[in-house]
Structure 1
Amino acid sequence: MEMNGMKKGIILFAALLVAGMTAEAQTQNTFGGGDIVLSAGIGAGTALNIGNTVVPPIVIQGEYGIVDNLFDAYSSIGVSGYIGFAAGRKSFYYYPYDTYRQKINSFLLGVRGTFHYQFVERLDTYAGITLGGEIANVREEGRWWNGQPPRYGGFLADVFIGARYYVVPQLAVYGELGFGVAYFTLGVSFKI
Structure 2
Amino acid sequence: MKTLFRILPLAVLATALAPNAQAQTRKPVAKPVAKPAAKPATKPAAKPAAKPAPAPTTPARAAAPAPAPAPVAPAASSTASTPEAIGPFQVGTNMVNVGIGLGNRYNYGTGYFGGSSSVTPALSVSYERGILALGPGVVGVGGFVGYQGATYDFGGSDRWKFTDIIVTLRGTFHYPVAEQFDAYGGVNLGLRHASASFEGSSIYGSLGSASANEVAAGLFVGGRYFFTPSIGAFAELGYDQTYLKVGVAAKF
Give TM-score scaled by structure 2 length.
Answer: 0.57
Q: Given the superposition, is the C-alpha separation of residues 24 and 125 from structure 1 closer, same or farther in structure 2, using an over 3 Å criterion?
A: closer
Q: Does the 8 A contact of 1:49 with 1:152 survive in 2? A: no
Q: Which runs of 5+ in 2 are unaligned?
A: 1-79, 110-116
Greater than 2 Å deviation, 4+ residue runs = 22-29, 48-55, 90-93, 141-145, 147-153
- Using the TM superposition, name which of 99-108 and 122-131 deviates more: 99-108
Structure 2 counterpart of 1:32, one-letter code? Q
1:61 aligns with 2:104: no
Counterpart-to-counterpart distance in 1, 2:145 and 2:240? 10
1:130 aligns with 2:192: no
1:85 aligns with 2:143: no
Counterpart-to-counterpart distance in 2, 1:53 and 1:83? 21
1:148 CA drift (Å): 9.9
Q: Given the superposition, is the C-alpha separation of residues 53 and 32 from structure 1 closer, same or farther in structure 2, using an over 3 Å criterion?
A: farther
Aligned length: 164
Q: Does the 8 A contact of 2:195 with 2:211 survive in 1? A: no
Counterpart-to-counterpart distance in 2, 1:25 and 1:117? 8
1:120 CA drift (Å): 2.6
Identity of paired residues, percent? 30
Q: Does the 8 A contact of 1:43 with 1:183 survive in 2? A: yes
Counterpart-to-counterpart distance in 2, 1:100 and 1:168? 49
Q: Given the superposition, is the C-alpha separation of residues 152 and 90 from structure 1 closer, same or farther in structure 2, using an over 3 Å criterion?
A: farther
Counterpart-to-counterpart distance in 1, 2:105 and 2:153? 18
Question: Which of structures 1 and 2 has the bigger CA Rg?
Answer: 2
Helix, strand or coil at the partner of 2:233? strand
1:1-192 correspondence runs (5 A): 27-51=85-109, 52-68=117-133, 70-72=134-136, 75-91=137-153, 101-141=159-199, 142-144=202-204, 152-192=212-252
Q: Which has the higher contact order (CA 8 A, sep 6+)?
A: 1
Structure 1 counterpart of 2:214, one-letter code? G
RMSD (Å), alpha carbons: 3.0
Q: Which runs of 5+ in 1 are unaligned?
A: 1-21, 94-98
